[in-house]
Every structure is written in C-alpha cells, then in structure tokens.
Amino acid sequence: MARSRTVFSLSLVAAIALVALVLGVVGGRATVSEAASSGGGDGGAAAGVKVDVIIRASDSAYWQTLLAGSEAAAADYGIEVNTFGPTSETDIAGQVQLVENSVSRGADAILIAPSSSEALNASIDTAREAGIKVITADTKVTAEIEGHIGTNNILAGTAAGERMCQLLTEQGTTTGKVLVEAPIAGIEANQDRDAGFRAGLATDCPDIDSSLQSYNNNDIGTAASQVNDAISANSDLVGVFADNNSSGVGAATAIKDNDAADDIAVVAFDSDPAENAALADGSIDALVVQNPWFLGYQGVVEAAMATQGRIPPASLDPGVAVADRDNMDSPEIKSLLEPQTAETNG
C-alpha cells in the first residue's frame, strides 16, 4: 500500500556511541543453553565476568536473536555468558526460578528480558542483595536495577498508529474499527505499544475506533481465531494492529483465510520468517521492527560495566524502523528482518 521512508530513532546513534565508550572497560529450566560462551577478545578488567542472560521464551526467533547478540558480546570482550529461558512467555514462574538459579550459581550479573513488570521483583531484589548486577532488556521492572535497554514502546507504538492512519487514508477510509491484538495483559511493553498506537492513530484519523482489544496468550492459532471473529462480528473492521510477532502471524493468517488483504490494513510488531513472508505477500502491510541483536549485545556490555563499578545508562532506546514491501529488501531493513539468531550463530 503505502510508500515510506525508513525511520530510525536517534537514540540508536547514542547507543552505538556508548559501545565505543565502554571498549576500555570491557577492551529452573534452561531450555536454550547452559554452555558458557566466551571469546578470545581482550576484555580488560571485565574479562571472565559471568553474565547470565535470561530471555522470555526459547520458542521465539526474536529472543534467539537477542541471544545471538549476547554471545557476540561474549566473544568480543571475553565475558562468560550463559543463556537460559523458559519455553513459553507465559511461564513467569520459570523465569523466577532461573533468576534464583543464577544467584545459586554465583553469577556476577544478569541480563533479563522480564515476562512481567512486577512478578520478578522479589527475585531481582534477592539477586541484587547477593551483589549481582541486573540489567533488563525489552521490558522494564518496577524493582531497582542497574540499567535498562529497550525500545521506547510508546514512541514505537505511535509510529505504528501513524502508519495505520496513512494506510487507511490512502484507501479513502475515514471511519471504522481497528482491532488491537496483543499477547498477554499486564506486560508494560505491550501496554505502551497499544497506548502509543492509539495516540498515533488518533492524531490524523480521529474517527477511527481503536477500542477493540483481544489477548491471545501469545498463541498464533488463538490470535488467528480472534481476528477471524472480529472480521465476522464487525462489518466495519478496517484494520488490525498486532503488537508482537505471534499476534502478527495470527492476524496475517486470518487476513489470508478471509481474502481480506485489500480491505483490512495490518500493522504488526517485530519480525520472524512468517511475518516477513506475510509482509511480502501483502497480508501484513507494515512491520515495526526492533533490533533484539543489539539489545543482547549492548545488554551484556552494560552488565559487564556494572560489575566494574561503572554506571550504565538508566534507560537506553535503540529505536525502531518501519518496514514495508517498498523497503524490505534494502540492506538496512533486511538486516533487521533477517538477523542472526543463536541457533544460526556459527
């Protein structure tokens, strides 16, 4: 549908500068890997520091990409990285257990992508009381930590809402309903994306109703069923915003099942092979793409900084890009749509 320019946040430039700055400093169920990754790089004082990386779920290409970034940082700076994660994003208790395991193992630092903004607070507090430095990635927690790296999801959601408005305007659509399809209620990152989306949509498309909301428990089949139901129940459904990759794949499935690509605009978050294929075939119109590889890389760097008494940024936003069929083959976008994952790390 719409042509667009690539949008990157300026904070990505600041993040790259931070990596350069810290070169002198760094110059239960584990279903991902318990083997330590470390490299021959001269890491200086932080060489040999033990950083446990705990992702939200091992069944996601997004989180596998974050692991690839963390393993690259280990190789570059001689940091000992161990990677862990429950099999599902809904297994919050599994994440809590993994944090407790890190305390028992005597990790120096933890990089964690929390499944909840509050449910891990007690275990994180225990880790910090044991002298372990904690950096969060992707989702913030309300506990005290050393630093956070993750997308400003309100701004990213706003970009998604603006793109949805652009798509609808180009179709001549000024009224109707948009479904917001999300994985799990109560996750700050998704809540912020949804709030930002509604704000971005309302700016220039004030008569589009975005109050419809569904939660699919991070299940593609459930997401597809919910979008199918929304299409059947709402003859004036004009768009779907899917705020993570599972929701995006489910939405694309429903759009194809109903042959509705020309009638219902779809903007989704993140990327994986199925979402990329949907972008190419038109069942998704735009993807708001993050850089999980950088989250993993920079998160490990910041964790190592903290163990040396350095002060990481309180919050660092690498920014997002908006991908569509017009720019998806450009080098800068393709590298985000098809990043290296831990499973393909050579």
One-letter identity of residue 40: G
pLDDT tens, position by position, 90-115: 899 999 999 999 999 999 999 999 99
- How does residue 45 score in pLDDT terms, banded at 50, 70 and 90? confident
What residues contact 36, with CB distance under 8 A and at least 6 apart? 50, 74, 80, 81, 82
Give the residue among 141, 101, 147, 135 at the shortest CA–CA distance from 121: 141
Domains of the chain, with CATH numbers?
Answer: 11-151+291-319 (3.40.50.2300), 153-289 (3.40.50.2300)
Q: Walk across the sheet containing 109-112 and list its strands.
A: 80-84, 50-54, 109-112, 133-137, 147-149, 315-316
Sign of CA dihedral 104, 108, 113, 119: positive
- Structure tokens given for 130: 């044991």
Poorest-pLDDT segment among 45-59, 124-138, 221-235, 330-344: 330-344
Poorest-pLDDT segment among 21-30, 99-108, 116-125, 285-294: 21-30
State yes or no: pLDDT of 41 exceeds 80.
no
pLDDT tens, position by position, 164-173: 999 999 999 9
State yes or no: pLDDT of 3 exceeds 50.
no
pLDDT tens, position by position, 281-323: 999 999 999 999 999 999 999 999 999 999 999 999 999 999 9
pLDDT > 70: percent of the chain: 86
pLDDT tens, position by position, 47-96: 899 999 999 999 888 899 999 999 999 999 999 999 999 998 889 999 99
State yes or no: pLDDT of 34 exceeds 70.
no
